[in-house]
Structure 1
Amino acid sequence: MPNHAILTADAHRNLKVRNDRAEDAGDAVMCAMVVPDEFRQVQNEYPILFRRNLEQDSFAAFAMFGFEDGENLFLEGRRWAARYLPLSIAIQPFLIGRPAGIDAPERQVHIDLDSPRLGSDGVRIFEEDGSPTPYLEAVIEKLRVLDAGYAASAGFFAALRRYDLLEPLSLEVPLPDGTTHRLVGFHVIDEAKLRALDPAEIAELHGAGHLMPLYMALASLANIGLLVARKSQRLRHG
């Protein structure tokens, strides 16, 4: 069961957050959720794939870091070898919550007290007087951007479904030993269907702000080859 708590200066004044990136800090993940508002930055580094939640019958977008659970090919020692860190990774161990029992727009900053990012070394969350440190203020801004992006993404995913713009991806990753690894369960933008939309439909997507992230997601697929190269290099050199 998650050990989340509302972040307060009284309860968490002395907590510190690790600012390195490593497996033992919880960064050994294959992918992370991203929102359309950050697709422009994400596509510079990572493939953007989509996955369907069958229980909720909904889609979400993910930046891909590897091809199997627990594999992050961007981890090099104690650093993340990319220029952009997806917001859902950058905000950890913090998250957005709501007051219990209230269905309202109020938001609270929560913290995962079981996160391996918390420890005796790292960056302070609060100053000695209980005021937020610049680090926490920056995290709060990232949380705000991520929360707004998540709320705005509903229209984007509705448009993908309305125009049937997602197709299943089945990717075979060649390995240095001659075997292949298959990546299944993800979707990508169907470029042929996007090209086939009529001018009115394109105008609707553009007017709603959906066209740019669509093209960013398409452009990001060029990073699949780079990710395969990272995988091959990792296997060759360990």
Structure 2
Amino acid sequence: MSQHQILDPKTHADLRIRAEAGGELGDGVSAALAVPAEFRRLACEFPLLFRRDGASGAWTALALLGFEPGENLFLAGTRWDAVCRPLSLAVQPFLIGRAADGAGPSQVHIDMAHPRIAADGEGIRVFDADGTPSPFLEEAIEMLGLLDNGYQASADFFAAVDRYDLLEPFSMDVTLDSGAAHRMVGYNMVNEEALAGLEPGILAELHAAGHLAPLYFAVASLGNLGKLVRRKNRKGHG
């Protein structure tokens, strides 16, 4: 169970974080939340797909990391075998907190129940001896800001996606060298035909709002699906 606290240099003066990669440290997931603002960076490594919540109707974007629950094919021992990571994983165990009414400035929180919380002097310091944020924390705060801003901006992106019906259901049968088969269902992808058929005025609108580039990056990222299958074959998973 999560245990969120406002990060404070007095309360957390000796706090240390385990920064290495590991399934047991929160990296053992087959998909990670992504925001449109990071599609450019993620598209070089991961397939970018979409899911719609059946109850709320809200869209989320996901960077695909594996084909089975808990499978992250980009883990290589204690490191990531990729040039980048989705921000939603990179910021752990930190998160953005706000007052219950949503008013006031955002705050940096930390989940003290997260497995990245180090014990016995291991890990990287969050605060220096004088109570100032360590370089590690400063980088985490920067990533939190990018993720939060990207999440806030994603509402307009998905409103435009809905307005012009630019996503369509996606499924894929994956057959491995071992003969094992997996079927990917429940995802959506950018409808290339609908995107290509948009009127110039709509394209200009999407471009001006910053929505067009993420759509094209999501399309381009689908080339990583074949790479992900080959990665799974190399790891010998079936």
TM-score, length-scaled by structure 2: 0.96
> Aligned AA for 1:76?
A
What CA deviation, in whole Å up to 9, does each residue of 1:95-146 have, x standing for no partner? Answer: 00012x3321410111011111111311100111211111111111111111
1:124-163 map, 5 Å? 124-163=125-164
Q: Is the 8 A contact 2:2 2:114 kept in 1?
A: no
Compute the displacement of 1:198 (Å): 1.1
Alignment partner, residue 218 of structure 1: 219
Compute the displacement of 1:80 (Å): 0.4
Q: Tell me the distance in 2 between the aligned counterparts of 1:181 and 1:102.
A: 44
Alignment partner, residue 94 of structure 2: 94
Matched, 1:114 2:113: yes
5+ residue gaps, structure 1: none
> Aligned AA for 1:148?
N
Question: What secondary structure does 2:188 align onto?
Answer: strand
**Count, aligned residues:** 236
Compute the displacement of 1:231 (Å): 1.1
Deviation beyond 3 Å, 4+ runs, structure 1: none
Compute the displacement of 1:12 (Å): 1.0
> Aligned AA for 2:201?
A
Alignment partner, residue 4 of structure 1: 4
Q: Tell me the distance in 2 between the aligned counterparts of 1:37 and 1:22.
A: 26
Q: Is the 8 A contact 2:9 2:132 kept in 1?
A: yes
Matched, 1:34 2:27: no
Matched, 1:207 2:219: no
Question: What secondary structure does 1:44 align onto?
Answer: coil
Q: Tell me the distance in 1 between the aligned counterparts of 2:205 and 2:157.
A: 12
What CA deviation, in whole Å up to 9, does each residue of 1:59-101 have, x standing for no partner? Answer: 01011100111000000111100001111111000000012x3
Matched, 1:198 2:199: yes
Compute the displacement of 1:35 (Å): 0.8
Question: What secondary structure does 1:27 align onto?
Answer: coil
Matched, 1:44 2:44: yes
> Aligned AA for 2:101?
I
Q: Tell me the distance in 2 between the aligned counterparts of 1:127 and 1:209.
A: 39
Alignment partner, residue 168 of structure 2: 167
Q: Tell me the distance in 2 between the aligned counterparts of 1:195 and 1:91.
A: 35
> Aligned AA for 2:150?
G
Question: What secondary structure does 2:236 align onto?
Answer: helix
> Aligned AA for 2:195?
L
Alignment partner, residue 66 of structure 2: 66
5+ residue gaps, structure 2: none
Q: Tell me the distance in 2 between the aligned counterparts of 1:27 and 1:107.
A: 26
Q: Tell me the distance in 2 between the aligned counterparts of 1:103 and 1:117.
A: 28
Q: Tell me the distance in 1 between the aligned counterparts of 2:30 and 2:223.
A: 18
User: Between the two proteins, what is the percent identity of the paired residues?
Assistant: 51
Q: Tell me the distance in 2 between the aligned counterparts of 1:115 and 1:92.
A: 8
> Aligned AA for 1:64?
L
> Aligned AA for 2:38?
E
Alignment partner, residue 183 of structure 1: 184
Q: Tell me the distance in 2 between the aligned counterparts of 1:52 and 1:103.
A: 25
